[in-house]
Structure 1
Amino acid sequence: MFQKEEDQKLTHILYSCYFSKSREGEQFVPEHIFSYQISGTLQLNDGHQSHVFKEGDFRFCKRNNLVKFIKIPPENGEFRSISVRLDQQMLRDFSREYGYYDQVKKQGSEIIQELKPDPLYKSYMDSLLPYQFKQPENQKLLSLKLREAILILLQTNPELADTLFDFTEPGKIDLEAFMNKNFHFNVEMKRFAYLTGRSLATFKRDFEKLYQIPPGRWLQQRRLQEAYHLIKEKGRAVSDVYLEVGFEDLSHFSFAFKKKYGLSPSRI
């Protein structure tokens, strides 16, 4: 059985099981992820579009992206999924062995990709079930299982080679455009810095030069402005809005909102 209400945070193979709806907010995806939805529904939003994955669906998520997610178990059942993390060092080793590093990269724009069902996917994920509570102790065995995942993805989706073997890091991009698009993702400041191609110190310096206030203060103000708009103009529920705009805690959101607007969000 899967453990209740927790993720087993293993190095390369992650099993998730939830008995109640879990809205975990935001997540930074540092490595490529290949996943299978065993049961329940997963809702993902990458800032560009929303995706819904149901029982039996397979997906691939690109590294270095921000994603919001909601895990919804079926009625009287469990939310269950398996994910395989494909890290950069392993992919570099694979690319040298199989000669993929010389390819010209022509990446698509999709951050989250639904994979068409294939018998190879199901048989591979089923083969991981014996490891659901423990990583393979034999590192050679683990390496073989991860290489198998890469080979299956390349056989079924050859175009993924452009994504899997692109080892470039985020370059310096327009800070204002990025922050206005991604302020609602509640991640550490160092993640924003990394994704805009800056060190944390450079990010803070460039930010204050652009906005004349520290990034933390700007984020709170921008999130409160968006929350006010959603509640007053769109009639959205406070219980949904505070997570959507990037707050972790309802009480903190309500306190900050009242301090800025003079009224609690429920009275707007």
Structure 2
Amino acid sequence: MRVTNIHSCHLGPEISPEQFISDHFFLCLLRGSMVAYDGQKTYTVQPGNYCIARKNHLLRYTKYKDNDRFEKVIITFDEPFLKRFLERHPTDSLTLTNDDSFLFVKEETFIANFIQSLKPYYNSDEAIDEAFADIKREELLLILLRADPSLAAVFFNFGAPAKIDLEEFMNRNFRFNISLERFAFLTGRSLSSFKRDFYKIFNDTPRNWLRKKRLDEAHFQLSKKHLKSSEVYLEVGFEDLSHFSFAFKKQFGYNPSELMSSE
């Protein structure tokens, strides 16, 4: 069922601006498309798709507008809300072996009707009236669990990430611009144990290793794929183009622009 007469809206706490998903959220794309990358897999979201972005995962988005418009419905399920829901609706938590960052939910009438039902409740700031927020979130969560009971294993897992292979994780996710505290958390370690284990594996500090690794990746993208600095610096984990250029010259002895002109 195609949803009509509704534009972008947001329900629940704000989603973290970092590339770290701090709370589960439901996404329905209404107009435009989106490609997301989690360090391993690429997910393509088209209009009419429903999906769950999973807490404690890394994700980078690229949005593509349709006639200069990108419209979506985002509904966040934060932990306090989920715990209150579980008290009212005791649910058996199943085991989910799928660790994908995006979980696609099959299209069904109940979800489409729910999204259409949001129209009277949201304002021009794309936010749902606070008086109805938890009621509508609870309604959606009941619909999602009815459609796929295995999602209980996602929503009601309140534990911290388990200790994992640090070397494999860092080599896969070094491009994500998150804090060392986030890296430590996602690998199941305190910050001090993360730094200690990191040095044992890489014989370097995390900050030095990340800088070198990101600059090496940037050098490859510039020299082999002939991309521009403006197309590369964010992708390899730098926040600022001038800082990227300065760090690049310090490591390699020449500016990124000189590498491009020499090709």
Shorter-chain TM-score bucket reads 0.7 to 0.9
Of 95, 98, 114, 1:124 maps to 114
Q: 1:37 aligns to what?
A: 29
Show structure 2 runs of 5+ residues with no match: 1-5
Instruction: Name the CA distance, whole Å, in 1 between partners of 2:254 and 2:10.
Output: 41
Q: What's the counterpart of residue 69 of structure 1?
A: 61
1:79-98 mapped onto 2 (5 Å cutoff):
79-98=70-89
In structure 1, how many angstroms separate the alpha carbons of the residues matched to 2:130 and 2:227?
Answer: 49
Equivalent in the alignment of 1:264: 255
Q: Deviations over 1:145-193 (max 9, x none)?
A: 1111111111222221221222221012222221111100011221111
What is the RMSD computed on CA atoms of the aligned residues? 2.6
Decide which of 224, 237, 255 is 1:246's aligned counterpart. 237
Give the deviation of 1:8 after TM superposition. Answer: 8.5
Aligned counterpart, 1:143:
134
In 1, are the aligned partners of 2:94 and 2:150 still within 8 Å (CA)?
Answer: no
2-structure distance, mates of 1:9, 1:255: 39
- Shift of the 188–10 alpha-carbon distance from structure 1 to 2, 3 Å rule, reads farther
Q: Closer, same or farther in 2 for the Cα pair 1:13/1:176, shift >3 Å?
A: closer
CA separation in 2, counterparts of 1:119 and 1:201?
Answer: 49
Aligned counterparts, 1:12-23, within 5 A: 12=13
What displacement does 1:13 show?
7.1
Q: Conserved in 1, the CA contact under 8 Å of 2:10 and 2:74?
A: no
Question: TM-score, normalised on structure 1?
Answer: 0.83
Structure 1: runs of 5 or more not aligned: 15-23
CA contact (8 A) 1:13 1:84 kept: no
Cα distance, 1:142 vs. partner?
Answer: 2.4
1:33–1:60 contact (8 Å) kept in structure 2? yes
Q: Which moved more, 1:150-159 or 1:86-95?
A: 86-95
Contact 2:23 2:77 in 1 (8 A): yes
Report the TM-score when normalising by structure 2: 0.85
2:75 is paired with a residue whose SS is: strand
- Structure 1 residue 222: deviation in Å? 0.5
CA distance in 2, matches of 1:128, 1:179: 41
**What's the counterpart of residue 3 of structure 2?**
none
By percentage of residues, which structure has more strand? 1
Matches of residues 216-235 of structure 1 in structure 2 within 5 Å? 216-235=207-226
In structure 2, do the counterparts of structure 1 residues 93 and 99 end up closer, same or farther at CA, with 3 Å as the change threshold?
Answer: same
Are the counterparts in 1 of residues 23 and 55 from structure 2 also a CA contact under 8 Å?
yes
Closer/same/farther in 2, CA of residues 13 and 144 from structure 1, 3 Å limit: farther
Kindly indicate whether the alpha-carbon contact (under 8 Å) linking 1:32 and 1:61 is maintained by their aligned counterparts in 2.
yes
Partner of 2:99 in structure 1?
A: 109
For the residue of structure 2 that corresponds to 1:114, the secondary structure is strand
Indicate if the aligned counterparts of 1:107 and 1:163 stay in contact, CA closer than 8 A.
no
2:21–2:59 CA contact under 8 A, matched in 1: yes
Paired residues in the alignment total 251
Aligned-residue identity in percent:
37
Distance 2:159 2:179 in 1: 22
